[in-house]
Structure 1
Amino acid sequence: MYVAVKGGERAIDAAHDWLAEERRGDPAIPELSLAQIREQMSLAVNRVMTEGSLYDPDLAALAIKQARGDLIEAIFLIRAYRTTLPRIGHSRPVDTGAMRCDRRISATFKDAPGGQVLGPTFDYTHRLLDFALAAEGEAPLARQAEPGPETVPRILDFLGRDGLIQEEPDGDATPPDLTREPLEFPADRALRLQSLTRSDEGFVLGMAYSSQRGYGRNHPFVGELRIGAVEVMMGIPELGFDVCIGDITLTECETVNQFTGSKTEPAQFTRGYGLVFGQTERKAISMALVDRALRWEELGEENVGAPVQDAEFVLAHGDNIQATGFLEHIKLPHYVDFQSELELVRKMRRGARAAQMQEAAE
């Protein structure tokens, strides 16, 4: 229960003005443009698009600027804006097998057909501050690699040809839409994957790490990690065929996990899967690990009581917007609630003091 505070509206308006001033910073320094944020902070933009469930680099850049770099606040802004947009149709499922890869690696096969494409990555940097960037000079041009094939085969398909990896069932049924329907349990794999995509990157990373450390017995190989552009196709009823409405950049990860088999299934490998917007490979890999850990029941494995095996625990606590709202609401006025608890504590102390005095008198 909240109580009215005199002058609250004026105070809130003043807080908004002060926030705008703090966001702008020193007016003597040129203001960041959306193009600068979009092009030079692309990994932050990709995260906001992924967890905000809206692929629009310009809007994500605007949200980051408005949020002063607070990515969770920026994700909140994007999700709120997304609810105002009309739904004009549905695209076809994207074909990531036809991805034009900028980066494509495998930890399972050295000589993978199509080759290993390192692409733009921090993996081989020394993690030393580059003070040349402080000089704000022109960046050196990257050496141009020879163009690779337009598309490359899926690496895990080679295991599938020999029956060494579990086949994924065709998803003919339309999955539920988590952006329109609340999350309910038990959640099937399609719903779990949607939730993991929108979940906080740090939380999913922590869950994945816990599974690697033994809380879930999940230490896979990265079968394939690919990043690149895919076409988005949409059926146009008036035309009677599909048309490409644009390209989007995705990161896809498939992990390879051991599976000892069961009474009905032979020993083989199983998969974990992650798919996110942009170049967001840490999130994609983490998502694949958590996805595999959550499949213990359908694979007939033992539940060892690890947090990462508890779908309700993982999915209900991974959404950073819900978590932020519940956490930050406690800083809002709770005067009446606190006064009632304060009076209860005082009453208990008076009762205890009276009992001590009576005991002393006896």
Structure 2
Amino acid sequence: MYVAVKGGERAIDNAHAWLAEERRGDPEVAELDVAQIREQLALAVNRVMTEGSLYDPDLAALAIKQSRGDLIEAIFLIRAYRTTLPRIGHSRPVETGVMACDRRVSATFKDVPGGQVLGATFDYTHRLLDFKLMAEGEVPEAAKADPRQEPTPHVTSFLNKEGLIQSEAQGEVSGEQTPPDLTREPLELPANRALRLQALTRGDEGFILSMAYSTQRGYGNSHAFVGELRIGRVAVEMDIPELGFAIEIGEVELTECETVNKFAGSKVEPPQFTRGYGLTFGQTERKAISMALVDRSLRSKELGVEVSNSPAHDEEFVLYHCDNIQATGFLEHIKLPHYVDFQSEMELVRKMRAEIAAGQAQDSAQEAAQ
């Protein structure tokens, strides 16, 4: 046993060395540095920060490099690192209404204060491979506008003026002032909306996208409009007890999405629109829109809407299966040694086969005797 253990240690050390060699790749090719990943693979960096629950583009880029581009492994690295950081305080809720928007579009109103700002988007590209990128030539510089600095009101505020959209204060299942922290406390059901939104933000983008898509295909009975999608930077403020007031400690880039869904009303509420909400780090549009669709689907029960057996309506199914780190751990653990378990299963199967064979032999003997 001792020899086997020592041999296993050597094999693991060699596997780590081989991994480092494979990560580096051909030494004749220039090595990627963290700054290149941060600047040129920004959408991957943004996803790692969002699902890793840590806003730090440099560390996210480092995690992507270390993981050889495996974003789930990078998210795991970021979450693991996050647990080592001290918690020195809490920031105030960010004010997205004063966001300096680089991109802001609405699918519900053509003309909105602040205008439609397309920003940098794949929405209108032809999805053809650009072989000029292989030539490593200079990219033509675009004519850029400065981000809108003055407050940009949310599109849903126009519906609020007529009372056509449900107030965010209504329909909540909890009146807690301070929401629970999913990064420090395990998920418990039933979850209030604040906790659900945390889980969806940290959830795997592909899973949340699939759940959102299912609602659009009829497994959620809810047709949504993108009331507004905005991307930009907001200030982060923190209350300093010694000073007696809040100070700005930095800024973060966020993607915010509000969807608008028709609501037929109930015995106590008139017909109106309801909202779905998504908020993520960086430019992560697909995730934010998907999150908003699933958020609205999970609100169905508290809104008094008929709930079907659709997966996106099932809070336990969605929240317990959306986390890619938990899913990866449970899935990949089966490739680790299970020698003892398998031996016991094999002995059980052998015993069952022997009993069946013995029974068949006995039946054959009885038939021959008759």
State the TM bucket, normalised to the shorter chain.
Answer: over 0.9
Q: Does 2:280 align with 1:248?
A: no
Q: Does 2:28 align with 1:28?
A: yes
Q: Does 2:64 align with 1:64?
A: yes
1:175-225: CA deviation from partner (whole Å, max 9, x where unpaired) = 000000000000000000000000000000000000110111122000000
For the residues of structure 2 that align with 1:253 and 1:289, how far apart are their CA atoms? Answer: 10
> Is the 1:114–1:149 Cα contact (8 Å) retained in structure 2?
no
What is the CA distance between 1:172 and its match in structure 2?
6.4
For the residues of structure 1 that align with 2:84 and 2:249, how far apart are their CA atoms? Answer: 21
For the residues of structure 2 that align with 1:354 and 1:132, how far apart are their CA atoms? Answer: 73
Cα distance change, pair 59–146 in 1 and its aligned pair in 2 (3 A): closer
Of 223, 241, 245, 2:227 maps to 223
For the residues of structure 1 that align with 2:87 and 2:62, how far apart are their CA atoms? Answer: 22
Letter in 2 for 1:66: Q
What is the CA distance between 1:144 and its match in structure 2?
2.7
Q: Does 2:267 align with 1:263?
A: yes
For the residues of structure 2 that align with 1:152 and 1:204, how far apart are their CA atoms? Answer: 28
Q: Does 2:342 align with 1:338?
A: yes
SS state at 2:246 partner: strand
SS state at 1:92 partner: coil
Cα distance change, pair 151–172 in 1 and its aligned pair in 2 (3 A): farther
For the residues of structure 1 that align with 2:239 and 2:325, how far apart are their CA atoms? Answer: 33
What is the CA distance between 1:236 and its match in structure 2?
1.1
Of 162, 173, 181, 2:185 maps to 181
> Is the 1:225–1:252 Cα contact (8 Å) retained in structure 2?
yes
Residue of structure 1 in register with 2:134 after alignment: 134
Residue of structure 1 in register with 2:48 after alignment: 48
For the residues of structure 1 that align with 2:305 and 2:100, how far apart are their CA atoms? Answer: 37
TM-score scaled to structure 1, two decimals?
A: 0.97
Residue of structure 1 in register with 2:144 after alignment: 144
Letter in 1 for 2:198: Q
For the residues of structure 1 that align with 2:141 and 2:104, how far apart are their CA atoms? Answer: 21
Residue of structure 2 in register with 1:85 after alignment: 85
> Is the 1:223–1:254 Cα contact (8 Å) retained in structure 2?
yes
What is the CA distance between 1:145 and its match in structure 2?
3.6
Point out where structure 1 has 5 or more consecutive residues left out of the alignment: none
Point out where structure 2 has 5 or more consecutive residues left out of the alignment: none
1:126-164: CA deviation from partner (whole Å, max 9, x where unpaired) = 000000000011111012347645331111000001000
Q: Does 2:123 align with 1:123?
A: yes
Residue of structure 2 in register with 1:353 after alignment: 357
1:246-284: CA deviation from partner (whole Å, max 9, x where unpaired) = 110000000000000000000000000000000001000
For the residues of structure 2 that align with 1:47 and 1:13, how far apart are their CA atoms? Answer: 31
Cα distance change, pair 146–44 in 1 and its aligned pair in 2 (3 A): closer
Residue of structure 1 in register with 2:297 after alignment: 293
Cα distance change, pair 147–207 in 1 and its aligned pair in 2 (3 A): closer
Of 308, 315, 318, 2:319 maps to 315
Letter in 2 for 1:334: H
Letter in 2 for 1:144: K
> Is the 1:272–1:288 Cα contact (8 Å) retained in structure 2?
yes
> Is the 1:192–1:291 Cα contact (8 Å) retained in structure 2?
yes
Report the RMSD for the aligned CA atoms in angstroms. 1.4
> Is the 2:102–2:148 Cα contact (8 Å) retained in structure 1?
no
1:261-309: CA deviation from partner (whole Å, max 9, x where unpaired) = 0000000000000000000010000000000000011100111111100
> Is the 2:102–2:147 Cα contact (8 Å) retained in structure 1?
no
For the residues of structure 2 that align with 1:77 and 1:203, how far apart are their CA atoms? Answer: 20
Residue of structure 1 in register with 2:105 after alignment: 105
What is the CA distance between 1:240 and its match in structure 2?
1.2
Residue of structure 2 in register with 1:197 after alignment: 201
Residue of structure 2 in register with 1:328 after alignment: 332
What is the CA distance between 1:358 and its match in structure 2?
1.2
For the residues of structure 2 that align with 1:315 and 1:145, how far apart are their CA atoms? Answer: 40
> Is the 1:101–1:151 Cα contact (8 Å) retained in structure 2?
no
For the residues of structure 1 that align with 2:60 and 2:88, how far apart are their CA atoms? Answer: 21
User: How many pairs align?
Assistant: 360
